[in-house]
Structure 1
């Protein structure tokens, strides 16, 4: 009688398009994982370089290669992979990055210990030929959900999915958000499952001119703005058309509007505070103090308009109940009409 070998619990999904320069190094970083019982599905998406030859040259039974005769694009290729994979977990990997040896082992242990988490990423090292920096995104579901209001805080090449969540809610990458498709998927994922980032470097992310964030920066920013609007609406912020600009100016501490925009900025901060504390469980005092600083900065940039700005400052809790030092400094600036440059 033949004993059936259990299927691996993890499948690594690796789309490849003209990735010959770094592909072998990426593959080797997966094949030397401390957790060895996985499969790797590589999908060559119509490469015109030697990527397919490299994939076929590595004789490891854990690797299977699917070939798209023509280039379908990243989103269609990713969704094709998600449809094909039957393992319990799916780990993403890019053809130009390097996984740390313990990546799969640590993510698997975390996911097994936290069955309510459906999507798990982690810290990553962003590097070039001359420098590197470790990026440390928020780690808890509440902090990630709050941070997604501002930007994508889960690195695509670090994530591991729980396939049962993907299938139950039919979650796939949306072609309408090309170049920010991962960000949009995380925002939808957060509605159905908890998210997490491990506080350890899981991937070395190679930053170079061929990266999506380099080649399609403008398109990515436009898509990301739409995704932020969707997430803010879902959280109950009900953003208006001008709120995105106010939001960016407030958090960049570069407020540029007049008195009507200042009033709107105060209303926006108040809504954001309520959602942050109630829905995303942010620390009330820490968030309040941060907003006090942002509100002082915005009002200070209009201090040359006099005491009417100071009155506006005091109409928000972040003003009248905030740091007395900010209140005194703004009163002086408004009296002398000295704005923050």
Structure 2
């Protein structure tokens, strides 16, 4: 009597739309994983190229193919597929990427050892035909939560979900945030579960002109700005109109405002510091030093206003308790403007 195969603990969800160019390489990287007890659900979303033929040519019993008769779009395809999956974990990958051989094994071991983590990603290699770079996002929940204030720091094609968290809180991709739907989902995940990134390259991410981040960059940026506002509100930052622009200018070190806006920028940095240190457990010293540099840069852009700016600089702890070199430099620049006038 044959022993039945163990029920797969992981389902890899692979949506495919006109992915014939790189699909075989993606499939090979998954089907040769060091961990083998998984199922691979590939969803052909109305492809008009040979993607479906490629999928049907693979005879591995772990692969099942779902076919959308017409193109449903990525978000609908992902949500409909999540409703079908019954395994303990769900891993995501795209049809033009390459999983490292140990990806599923290491993520599963981490998730089993950390039952409080509901979402786990990792490092990834971003590559083109001519160059590659390893992207190392923050790894702990607190650092990820803080970094999400600024940008998406969990690569969609590296993540593994705990399905119990998905179902308990009915977490699905929101069509209102198309082209940044993953970022928005991570922000909601952070309210119910801990997040993690493994400090190991899990996926080789192929960057090319057909990527969503290339084709829909403007739409993605608009959606991401809305998501950042939501996450900041969830953390208690209570952003006001104009804070998003101040935030971007401060952290780009390209402050463009006037004296009232400089006051608002100082208030925003103070709120952000409190949330970063208290809620996200950021190192108070290194965060203070970073904000001291940002505050000095912003005030320096208005040094033409003389001692008014220097007085404003000193009103914030990032000014009067900061690097003495910044204080002296700004004092000299403000004084010099008065002398010239």
TM-score range, shorter chain: over 0.9
1:257-302 deviation digits (Å, cap 9, x = unpaired): 0100000000000000000001101011110000000000000010
Q: Distance in 1 between matches of 2:201 and 2:304?
A: 47
- The equivalent of 1:15 in structure 2 is 15
Cα RMSD between the aligned structures?
0.9
Helix, strand or coil at the partner of 1:199: strand
Which sits farther off after the overlay, 329-338 or 215-224?
Answer: 329-338
Q: CA deviation at 1:2?
A: 6.9
- The equivalent of 1:324 in structure 2 is 324
1:1-57 deviation digits (Å, cap 9, x = unpaired): 775433110110000000000000000000110111110000000000000000000
- The equivalent of 1:200 in structure 2 is 200
**Which blocks of at least 5 consecutive residues in structure 2 are unaligned?**
none
Q: CA deviation at 1:337?
A: 2.3
CA contact (8 A) 2:125 2:203 kept: yes
**Which blocks of at least 5 consecutive residues in structure 1 are unaligned?**
none
**TM value normalised by structure 1:** 0.98
1:166 aligns with 2:200: no
Q: Distance in 1 between matches of 2:105 and 2:140?
A: 20
Number of equivalenced pairs: 338
1:147 aligns with 2:123: no
Query: Following superposition of structure 1 onto structure 2, how do residues 1-341 of structure 1 map, counting pairs within 5 Å?
Result: 3-337=3-337
Q: CA deviation at 1:192?
A: 0.2
Q: Distance in 1 between matches of 2:112 and 2:73?
A: 33
1:175-198 deviation digits (Å, cap 9, x = unpaired): 000000000000000000000000
Q: CA deviation at 1:145?
A: 0.2
CA contact (8 A) 2:6 2:37 kept: no
CA contact (8 A) 2:35 2:102 kept: yes
CA contact (8 A) 2:93 2:158 kept: yes
Helix, strand or coil at the partner of 2:197: strand
Helix, strand or coil at the partner of 2:149: coil
Q: Distance in 2 between matches of 1:3 and 1:100?
A: 30
1:43-72 deviation digits (Å, cap 9, x = unpaired): 000000000000000110000000000000
CA contact (8 A) 2:123 2:137 kept: yes
Helix, strand or coil at the partner of 1:337: helix
Q: CA deviation at 1:80?
A: 1.1
CA contact (8 A) 2:102 2:202 kept: yes
